[in-house]
Structure 1
Amino acid sequence: MSVEQNFHGIHFMLPTPFDQNGDVDASSIKSLVNGARIAKCTGVVTLGVMGEAHRLTDSERGPIIDTVVKAAGDDLTVTVGVSAESGHSLAARTREAQSAGATAVMAAPAKMTKPNSTSTFGYYEAAQEITEIPIVIQDLPEQTGVHLHPEFIGKLHEELPDAKYLKLEDPPTPQKITSVIEATAGRMGVFGGLGGAFLFEELRRGAIGTMTGFAYPEVLVSIYNYLMKNDIERARNIFYSWLPLIRYENSAGIG
């Protein structure tokens, strides 16, 4: 499925399942992808923070991507997390994901002791030089220590043709969504994240969906669908009735 066909909506962040020996459990990956299909998600995201990509060896990444792409088939998009510590590594991971048939790649900034916009731009430029598929910029300062200002996000979108999407996880997200939409003249698609904790408000501010691993993605799909039908009251009621569980699941240290 190409991005042009449909990328708006709910994308399920896949955890990476392991067996008792600590090896990747490919069978369970297929089940998770099928669960996203049953929930009517737009797509799945693999090798993100939810997928514990930092715990995997480089040799484990390729088979995981292949398994997800094959399981997704033609009815789910596949976004592959390619975040790295250098532009060189980012380019290599982007090439791997693209060759495997990914719909898009997602990259958070490289961690830096003293972040600066020149280095961060060069990092994303390395992916742009390789890719022929969209890049989802992941704005996750809690993990990376890099704060992406709306104006800089606008520069990335303007100067890198495939920097078409943003996964915004820098709270308060609703206000920043408005700022990014203004900085990009509404041309950059913005997704929420953070477990769906602000989904209703994010969609009302102009987000085109969310990328999150909330355990009941069908609930998020229903909220999204009702809002797209302009049934705001029903979407609000569903969201706030589920919000206590969404917040609980998104809390650190409960597992």
Structure 2
Amino acid sequence: MSSSRPFGRALCAMVTPFSDDGSLDLDGARKLAAQLVDDGCDGLVLSGTTGESPTTSDAEKAALVRAVAEEVGDRAVTVAGVGTADTRHTVALAREAERAGADGLLVTAPYYSRPPQPAIEAHLRRVADAVGVPLMLYDIPGRTGVRIEPETMLRLADHPRVVAVKDCAYDLLGTTKVIAGSGLAYYSGCEETNLPLYAVGGAGFVSTVANVAAPHLRAVLDAYDAGETARAARLSHLALPLSEAMMAAGLPGAVTAKALLGALGRPAGPVREPLQPAGREAADGLLEEYRRLERAAGQSLV
């Protein structure tokens, strides 16, 4: 991967497949990972929000990384989510993910305790100092309760292992300032900003919708890179109804992605409590939007 796109362009925030009894389905994870790479994903982000990380154990997280890294080999990068509210725990998870074969780490600001910016910076530096693989910082204040402010990002950019950001801050001005003032690679973490962020110098996306529609999402970036900006916009617009149904219709992305994957015959399995599966009406609506995108794009997304 290039230094400007250290994890590639098209990354999937992969679900964590479970068996019917709720146990970790490593065979399913391997199969899903291989399919996503075949679909055009440059990287797989494991144990993030979509990966139901709050309900998987440390041992399950490491086993998932090991299985997926072995399956995809050098065909794609494997990025392990290690964010917690506890610095010591985050460091321990980071080291274990590196030992398990992760190519990079996804690290949030500590959540719930809402530490001030100097404490957030110290936390993230502690993690970066503890490992030998690159970090993607995850700025998602809607879940953590606190920003990684642009000024903090700019300071952290001087660390040799802080190389990228997954951006869910909805602050295009601040994001653009960091892109312009640092070498950090910015990845959109919100479907509706995939193309806008790419147009102002972003590196690509980390997408939940890519679990089911990776070829189409990648085609948006391909069109933009080819100078076909109007086509890129049209392709982006086509994906909006599915993205809205999966990410903004009241159900968590893990729930909607697993409902669709199951309907398409791909490994997924149930969600773990406190999440609940999508109801029949919601699942049917998701499949309808998927088929509509499939028809409109003029290609199979399976």
Fold conserved between structures, TM > 0.5 = yes
Percent identity, aligned pairs only, is 20
**Which of the numbers 164, 173, 176 marks the counterpart of 2:174?**
176
Structure number with greater Rg is 2
Deviation (angstroms), 1:112: 4.1
CA contact (8 A) 2:79 2:103 kept: yes
Aligned partner of 1:216: which letter?
A
SS of the equivalent of 2:160 reads: coil
- 1:124-162 Cα deviation digits (max 9, x unpaired): 12112211111000000000001122111101112x221
Aligned partner of 1:218: which letter?
P
Which consecutive residues of structure 1, in runs of 5 or more, have no partner in the other structure? none
More helix by share: 2
Aligned partner of 2:195: which letter?
F
Aligned partner of 2:229: which letter?
I
Matching residue of 1:207: 202
- 1:1-26 Cα deviation digits (max 9, x unpaired): x6759623110111011111110111
Name the CA distance, whole Å, in 2 between partners of 1:3 and 1:103: 14
Deviation (angstroms), 1:232: 0.8
Cα 1:104–1:197 shift into 2, 3 Å: same
Cα 1:114–1:46 shift into 2, 3 Å: closer
Name the CA distance, whole Å, in 1 between partners of 2:42 and 2:52: 22
CA contact (8 A) 1:42 1:77 kept: yes
Which consecutive residues of structure 2, in runs of 5 or more, have no partner in the other structure? 257-277, 279-302
Name the CA distance, whole Å, in 2 between partners of 1:33 and 1:231: 30
Name the CA distance, whole Å, in 1 between partners of 2:143 and 2:114: 14
Matching residue of 2:98: 98
2:58 pairs with 1:58? yes
SS of the equivalent of 1:73 reads: helix
2:75 pairs with 1:75? yes
- 1:143-187 Cα deviation digits (max 9, x unpaired): 0001122111101112x2211100010114x33321221342xx1
Cα 1:114–1:54 shift into 2, 3 Å: closer
Matching residue of 1:216: 213
CA contact (8 A) 2:12 2:41 kept: yes
Larger RCO of the pair (alpha carbons < 8 Å, separation 6+): 2
- 1:96-149 Cα deviation digits (max 9, x unpaired): 111122111010011143420121112112112211111000000000001122
CA contact (8 A) 2:114 2:144 kept: no
Matching residue of 1:131: 131
CA contact (8 A) 1:3 1:103 kept: no
Name the CA distance, whole Å, in 1 between partners of 2:98 and 2:2: 13
Aligned positions of 1:10-159 closer than 5 A? 10-158=10-158
Matching residue of 2:161: 162
| Over 6 Å off, 4+ runs | none
2:195 pairs with 1:197? no
CA RMSD of aligned residues (A): 1.7
- TM-score norm. by structure 1 comes to 0.92
Matching residue of 2:268: none
